Amino acid sequence: MALLKLAPTCKDYLWGGHRLVENYHKDYDGDVLAETWELSCYPDSPSTIVNGEYAGKTLAEYLEICGEKVLGTNCSRFKEFPVLIKFIDAKGDLSIQVHPSDDYAYQNEGQPGKTEMWYVVEAEEGASLYYGFEHEISKEEFRQRIEDNTLTEVLHSAPVKKGDVFFIASGTLHAIGKGILIAEIQQNSNVTYRIFDYGRKDKNGQLRELHVDKALDVTELAPVRKRPSDAPHIASCPYFTVDKLYLDGNNFDTLSGTIGTDSFAHILFLDGEGEISCGEERLTFVKGDSFFLPAGSGAWTLHGCCEALMTTERND
């Protein structure tokens, strides 16, 4: 089977909105939908196959049945499924946070670190996010500013618009601001060190936990260093490669490619509608849909009007 449509696990974090239900066709009954984990083998938050012979099985169960060959030879270097892909709808500001490197995370958390990228799908006028520091600071100043609630004074606030891309290497302090909806491609990890959370309380009325000491261990206390261009990709690193797919539905309404034995592909539709085919299988797609194409699936075609992100694994 060469074309698996996925349903996500849904998260109701307190800062979330409802756009993923209203505009992205997510099947969810709650009042707040902050994140959908679209491609996930994370133990308690899997994506689930909804079509074909594997319908009802989680992606992890499918991989157990079919074996590593469906991931591709480029994935042989990973200890576990390499990526986690989400939609994130920030009605409110997310906490200021940082993620550790692989070495630190395996030693202290028993799972990988977290490097990620964001593609801005929607942004309200005036929206911004925190991305590193305006200038280098010391650990002593970092701790003091956390304690006296002045940390934001030394953070870099980046204005955002639809189509912007941010690469967040492990160790980069960051926070998504309110009014932003993003697609996030990241390592398969859920390790987050929360640094500042605006004094918010959880569902039980308790202040949400901060992780200041671990954040002090891993945070790069300086402006984000400019990376070399990843062109023609919008992002590429040892953990994932991401390409943008676009069809205008008029002069350019068909796009084709091939899934070789080196890597699976995941396609996340950010907008539009049409048909996706691979091998003998054909399915319709709409804005918000998520598809997994196993390694070795062969030729694929998109027809219609769309904006989408394709994630694969490169040979490192």
Coil vs helix vs strand at 38: strand
Task: To the nearest 10°, report the CA torsion of 198, 124, 168, 104.
Answer: 30
User: Which phi-psi region, left, alpha or beta, contains residue 217 (left: φ > 0; alpha: ψ -120 to 50)?
Assistant: alpha
| Residue 194 annotated among the catalytic residues of the structure | yes
Question: How many other C-beta atoms can be found within 10 angstroms of the C-beta atom of residue 201?
Answer: 11
Backbone angles phi, psi at 51, to 5 degrees: -135, 160
Catalytic: which of 19, 77, 145, 194? 194
Burial of residue 263 (number of CB atoms within 10 Å: 0-12, 13-18, 19+): buried
CA distance 149 to 173: 16
* Residue 52 DSSP label: G
For residues 18 and 32, what is the distance between their CA atoms, to the nearest angstrom? 6
In 202-297, beta strands by DSSP E: 235-237, 240-248, 254-259, 265-278, 281-286, 290-293
Catalytic positions = 194
